[in-house]
Amino acid sequence: MLLIAEPLIIVWVGAEYSAAFIPLAILAATTPLGIGQNSAIQVFYAMSKHRYYAYLNITEAAFNLAISLLLVKEYGIVGVALGTAIPFVISKLIFVPHLICKFTEIPLKEYMFNLVKPIILILFLESGCLGLISYFKLDNFWQVFALASFWQILIGIILLKFIASKDDYAYAMDTVPIIGKILRRQE
């Protein structure tokens, strides 16, 4: 969705609000890292190591506030978005993987590959949606919304088919029967 955020903002609320794209893009770009680390956070709790995660969050919040206050005068809302994103990315891309790998004895290289692989695939797939919006010059909110919604479902199915483990794939097939019917037809 990040790649189509600017056209979506323009057709939804108008070109005069297109400046909102930059802070939105900065904050939205960090979302996959947060989502990608959800299972790692559960590992902290399961191993009774949640105090490390708590300290990490407190430190992240302190740096968030400090960097945001430093950047807001010079860059305004974009500075605040950067002040929020920078500590978040450092925390989720460096400290969480390091701690989880230390606690679980998973090789860091393997962990990082499995974290980054779906993010790169999603960015690649999202660029197709942006290409379609540009090619067809979609300028109506409902057109962009319909295409983006369909595209997100398509990306979800592709990720499920090619990235998910066999157990996750089987679970999804059983839990959401319509997806199971669609994907099993292709097998």
Q: Give the model's confidence band at 129: pLDDT under 50 very low, under 70 low, under 90 confident, else very high.
A: confident
What distance in Å separates the CA atoms of residue 87 and residue 90, rounded to the nearest whole number?
Answer: 5
| pLDDT, average across residues 77-93 | 97
Question: Is 174 inside a domain boundary?
Answer: no
End-to-end CA distance of the chain: 29
| Mean pLDDT value across the chain | 88
Cα–Cα distances (Å) from 72 to 6, 82, 128, 151, 155, in that order, read 22, 9, 34, 35, 36
Question: Is 16 inside a domain boundary?
Answer: yes
pTM, two decimals, is 0.75
Structure tokens at 79: 């500075």
Q: Give the model's confidence band at 3: pLDDT under 50 very low, under 70 low, under 90 confident, else very high.
A: low
| pLDDT, average across residues 154-174 | 84
Question: Is 164 inside a domain boundary?
Answer: no
Domain encompassing residue 117: 2-140
The answer on pLDDT for 153 being more than 80 is yes
Higher pLDDT, 61 or 12: 61
Question: Is 187 inside a domain boundary?
Answer: no
Domain count, the chain: 1
pLDDT at 36: 84
Q: What percent of the chain has pLDDT over 70?
A: 95
pLDDT at 187: 55
pLDDT at 62: 99
pLDDT at 93: 93
Question: Is 165 inside a domain boundary?
Answer: no
